[in-house]
Structure 1
């Protein structure tokens, strides 16, 4: 598999709550609304993007057509930055219907893989864009929790002026691509299910830590959890586990994922929060369920008798790591573990719709 490189050429913006301040209780065309106010930093961000990307407004406005939206943009001195404006009224279809995004891109002249949607509504902007094959950046200024433990968005921002830097970074694989990587390397279904659970647990911890003002990237944590066991069965010796995954991920142009995969194994010392969360999540998930350190380590010692001493020697470090992570959270350990066991591990609907193998894997896990 070649390195993951999908150059973005088009950027679509939602209107209310993303590009412009949300104004409730107003009827009629947008151009006639008394207040028209851009999100702070919008003009500077659009100016920075304008020479490098085709920009578009993609709004669910049902009472406004392109001319109404352009008049409103002109009032905010933003109209000149946009190559296209599409509304639900113009297209006859609304977000999150994938047809909305595909119609917008047809008019703009780009393929879904060349475009990114930026919006504040997870169900409308993010889920719809991903179902249509676009990249998606979740604009989440309030820092609310992601509605799913398997985040479908490709990046998350809390201020609009973060967009240029995000677009310049190397994209992480999305969930569908990560699962394809696992299949390409013949990772068996039971390890895929384990990896999905590790990803969900690690992501949940990342979100909870971020709520405590700790700097951590939940999407990076999740994708690392998905791919941490990429080499589980292909490594010739347990001691090699993690290193081969690191080489594969570096070859795919994913050094951040590679480093986390290399440091999730017993004996490795994770340094960043992303590394710590994947390392710890892997040590409390047995098969595809949250078991806890004791049960997980006992299982590893039984499964790999030659590594029993190494497993035993790792326990003090892992207890310290657990204490470090849980000490940052307001709830006691028992409540946190109970919370983890209640997580809905379902994959996003757009991933399942695009990959029937995901649905059958989920059914086997649920015992259906």
Structure 2
């Protein structure tokens, strides 16, 4: 969990701790009305007792004193120990050096710092590249660039942050790659799991936008790691069981269950069928991914029967169950299976639809 790894939490200012109104010109301290983001004060009151809390902002019109005055107006000032401006750091937040310089000023290694912000391009990506842990404040359930979430945690509101810091930390994208390389991955396998992961992340984000309780980040990492043992199966143990065993050893029980429950041959077994939305979506997106291409379910099932003739009978037997899973998922979005696939291809491949 992150709580045991970090010493300092760096917060973005605008739309993370305080609301920004684009209609208001000039310095925030001079606005007629200012407001804290919901949950900001109670969160800072609690976490400031455990962590060093600082603020980082790109605000070009304000000095440190101006920012402090704005914080005073919403009673957040007493929880913030230091303020870093892009002007005083001599670089923008979009540059990883901004975060490296903050860590240097704090005399801390990057991996002892956590960045919390709402702007993926300015808060999350550069901080991640600089080696900080990152939490994306994402109330609208927006997508990470290229359906590739590099952040460590995602929250829809500040009230979730404190509990999230005590949750099991998911592996980073780089850690997932390392595990695959350790277990003899090929380029083609890595390409396959990346498409499954991106598709699972996209679909889970659509679900979240519908108000369904789901973790797109868990779905992404589950999609990425579902075939971890694909090329290193243990005799008498299918690759899903092997992957689950490895992931449990790595301290990832939730991802282990996703890996365990992704096989078409086991979809009818009560102990290995997908149960959670994350498990169901990864299972289904895997059934739409032939190699590194999104195809129809019928095309994928035909390819699997051709590739694994010894399991063709079991695959045919479970086709009704896979179709039922497809209907369950596409029904949430109000789409036919054909329209769902078109929508997913458009999202992942940035296809422009023409009449």
Per-residue deviation, residues 321-366 of structure 1 (Å, max 9, x unmatched): 00110111123322221122234469xxxxxxxxxxxxxxxxxxxx
Q: Which residue of 2 aligns with 1:176?
A: 174
Q: Which residue of 1 aligns with 2:274?
A: 270
Cα deviation for residue 29 of structure 1 reads 4.4
Instruction: Give the alignment partner of residue 256 of structure 2, picking from 255, 258, 264.
Output: 258
Change (3 A) 1:269 1:230: same
The answer for unaligned runs of 5 or more in structure 1 is: 347-368
Task: Map 1:73-112 onto structure 2 (within 5 A).
Answer: 73-112=71-110
Q: Is the 8 A contact 1:118 1:136 kept in 2?
A: yes
Per the TM alignment, residue 147 of structure 1 is displaced from its structure 2 partner at its CA by 4.2
The aligned counterpart of 1:187 is 185
Aligned position for 1:297? 301
1:241-273 deviation line (CA, Å, top 9, x unaligned): 111111111111111111111111121310000
2:2–2:166: 8 Å Cα contact kept in structure 1?
Answer: no
2: distance between equivalents of 1:162 and 1:323? 32
Equivalent positions of 1:5-154 (< 5 A) are 7-154=5-152
| 1:50–1:81 CA contact under 8 A, matched in 2 | yes
Which whole-Å CA distance do the structure 2 matches of 1:212 and 1:226 have between them? 24
- Return the offset for 1:25: 4.4
Match in the other structure for 2:317: 313
Change (3 A) 1:4 1:108: closer
What is the CA distance between 1:26 and its match in structure 2? 4.3
Residue 153 of structure 1 and its aligned partner are, at CA, apart by 2.3
Question: How many angstroms apart in 1 are the aligned matches of 2:249 and 2:149?
Answer: 24
Report the aligned-residue RMSD: 2.1
Query: 1: CA distance between counterparts of 2:176 and 2:254?
Result: 14
Give the secondary-structure state (helix, strand or coil) at the position aligned to 2:83: strand
The answer to whether the Cα contact below 8 Å between 1:114 and 1:134 also exists between their aligned partners in 2 is: yes
For residues 345 and 109 of structure 1, do their structure 2 counterparts lie closer, same or farther at Cα, with a shift above 3 Å needed? Answer: farther
Contact 1:137 1:157 in 2 (8 A): yes
1:235-246 correspondence runs (5 A): 235-236=233-234, 240-246=238-244
Aligned residue number for residue 336 of structure 1: 340
Residues 1:303 and 1:4: Cα distance change in structure 2 (over 3 Å): farther
Q: Which fold has the larger relative contact order, with Cα–Cα distance below 8 Å and residues 6 or more apart in sequence?
A: 1
Q: Which runs of 5+ in 2 are unaligned?
A: 267-271, 351-355
Q: Aligned residue pairs: how many?
A: 344
The CA distance in 2 between the partners of 1:293 and 1:164, in whole Å, is: 41
TM-score by length of 1: 0.88
Alpha-carbon shift at residue 56 of structure 1 (Å) = 0.9
